[in-house]
Structure 1
Amino acid sequence: MSDYQETLYEGYGQRFRMDRLLHEVRTGHQHLVIFENARMGRVMALDGVIQTTEADEFIYHEMLTHVPILAHGAARRVLIVGGGDGGILREVCRHRSVERITMVEIDATVVEMCKEFLPEHSRGAFEDPRLNLVIDDGMRFVATTEDRFDVIISDSTDPIGPGEVLFSENFYQACRRCLNDGGILVTQNGTPFMQLGEVQTTAQRMNGLFADWHFYQAAVPTYIGGAMTFAWGACDAASRRLPPDILRQRFVGSGIVARYYNPEIHQGAFALPQYVLQAIGKPGNN
């Protein structure tokens, strides 16, 4: 029995007991490890950084999916960038109103390994007939596609290695180009306590690009450093300020039974701590 030590931060981190190593491979893009841990279930790491665990993945995947789709209210076409473990795809597939799902993942090996070793993440979602799975670089795809989307969800790794380009100014601009009127972009943006510089950089890149930009957050135990931040860019400023009864109506209408998400969490998630607001140059939560 050995330990898995995460390497994301210098001088601070987390350790998992590796009760059983299930798979380890160096793909064409990154080093992938999947192992079992008694507390967190099956765990996947890429290049020394924990990506997802069976125990708490529902928090991250529900919040990155249901917040933009229910805020939009009429999303028919959804683009997922990254997300090779299938968790985002699983949650998007729960929305019956979505007609077409495009998923662009750079690493085919991640998809195949997660289907085999993390089947609870996707729960058969890769077989959904609405899915068009594209193995390609996400940046290249959004820069060149002729398709347009109502919601774009960027479920990337941290901004190191293959995921770095998905935090670039070019990426946000290309996503904005791909959005229909009223469209919404959301992206994984790290934990602000440890990665405040990344949040500031994203804020600068979103500013001026979207009618409304902000961040929202959720506490995911696996992502060490406190609350996880998600970037929000909306073409319609009203999307973030929906009355509670509208959100509740949409959620109930979806028929989705969630484990973390509810309309109150949705609204409360946009309230940010003062140090984050100061860092992004907003005097208040507006």
Structure 2
Amino acid sequence: MQNKALYYETLHQGYGQYFEVENILFEQRTEQWHLSIFETQALGKVMALNGAIQTTERDEFIYHEMLTHVPLLAHGSAKRVLIIGGGDGGILREVVKHSSVEAITMVEIDAAVVEMCKSYFPAHSNGAYDDPRLNLVINDGLEYVRTATEKFDVIISDCTDPVGPGEVLFSSEFYEHCKRLLNDNGIFVAQNGVPFLQQDEISNTVRRMHSYVNDCTFYQAAVPTYIGGCMTFVWATDDVDAKQLPVAEITTRFKRAGLVTRYYTPALHQASFALPAYVQQLVASALTITK
């Protein structure tokens, strides 16, 4: 029996995971990145960038549902949504499920990423790019928020890890401009890594963000692909009550929206804000520091 090729993730020093590669579908190397798309038996198609797993066919729904429905249902009346990144289309697919949303702006740095993901991961977007409410902008995320003037009710930053080109989407300047673009009681969310292995990301985000909003915290979801425990999502808003909605109210909003989900539930929504003590301690420590 021929040995299968293995793909080793190298995001965390001295600790990782590997995938048995059934078939390499796409590979590109430049001075800035090494992008791979390959098929696996366990998780279907996988996309990896510079040694870090970005998304898989089998478990992407967990990440995309939690990064979308938690802020939209917590807000309750979001009309305008901004997505930064998210070229695979998964966040967009979940946002368009909300018929009450009137306008969606999506800012992706590379048009080729959008087209490639349509080809290799069509179920991620599932036709969402054809939604008439979408305004797709090909631009750098930081550059966009620097110059934009329109306001949004929810901003979702579907960014890569804070290394290389993605690092600016974790900067104080990026957070400051995102806050400027939020309507009153608007909500900003973003992926923030796996806290057990990326504790600096918790501290850095709070340190850079908390001075701009009344409430800066995190919520969690368990995504098998992102090893090391639960993944955290940063939560930033001036509405200090938004994360404390009763399950009954979230359930009412969920039913009214007519959503069909595979991971998200109203009870899970509320529970996701319950953080382990070590994450609470990281947040509390970082709140004493700015910039």
Q: TM-score range, shorter-chain basis?
A: over 0.9
Separation (CA, whole Å) in 2 of partners of 1:161 and 1:194: 19
1:1-286 map, 5 Å: 1-26=4-29, 30-281=33-284
Choose 234-243 or 131-140, whichever is displaced more.
234-243
Provide the TM-score with structure 2 as the length reference: 0.95
State whether residues 28 and 107 of structure 1, in contact with CA within 8 Å, keep that contact through their aligned partners in structure 2.
no
How far off is 1:107 after superposition?
A: 1.9
- Cα distance in 2 for residues equivalent to 1:181 and 1:65: 19
Tell me if the contact between 1:27 and 1:109 (Cα under 8 Å) persists in the aligned partners: no
Tell me the CA shift for residue 27 of structure 1: 6.3
Superimposed CA distance per residue, residues 43-64 of structure 1 (whole angstroms, 9 cap, x where no aligned partner)? 0011111000011000000000
For the 8 Å contact 1:32–1:46, the answer to whether it is kept is: yes
1:85 & 1:25 partners in 2: Cα distance?
Answer: 17
Quick one: distance in 2 between partners of 1:137 and 1:27? 18
Q: Deviations over 1:192-239 (max 9, x none)?
A: 000001101111122221121110000100001110000000121121
CA distance in 2, matches of 1:153, 1:32: 23
Q: Say whether the 8 Å CA contact 2:218–2:235 is kept in structure 1.
A: yes
Structure 2 residues without counterparts, runs of 5 or longer:
286-291
- RMSD of aligned C-alpha atoms? 1.2
* 2: CA distance, partners of 1:279 / 1:146: 34
> Normalization by structure 1: what TM-score?
0.96
Percent identity between matched residues is: 61
Secondary structure of 2:241's counterpart equals helix
* Matched position secondary structure for 2:68: helix
Partners in 1 of 2:274 and 2:64 — Cα distance? 19
In 1, Cα distance between equivalents of 2:247 and 2:61: 23
Q: Residue type of the partner of 2:177?
A: A
Question: Deviation of residue 28 (structure 1)?
Answer: 8.3
The answer (yes or no) to whether the contact 2:246–2:270 under 8 Å persists in 1 is no
- Following TM superposition, by how much is the alpha carbon of 1:30 offset from its aligned partner in structure 2, in angstroms? 3.0
Alignment length, in residue pairs? 282
Structure 1, unmatched stretches of 5+, are: none
Equivalents in 2 of 1:94, 1:206: separation in Å? 29
* 2: CA distance, partners of 1:161 / 1:105: 16
Aligned-partner SS, 2:284 = coil
- SS of 1:207 mapped into structure 2: helix
- Shift in Å at residue 185 of structure 1? 0.0
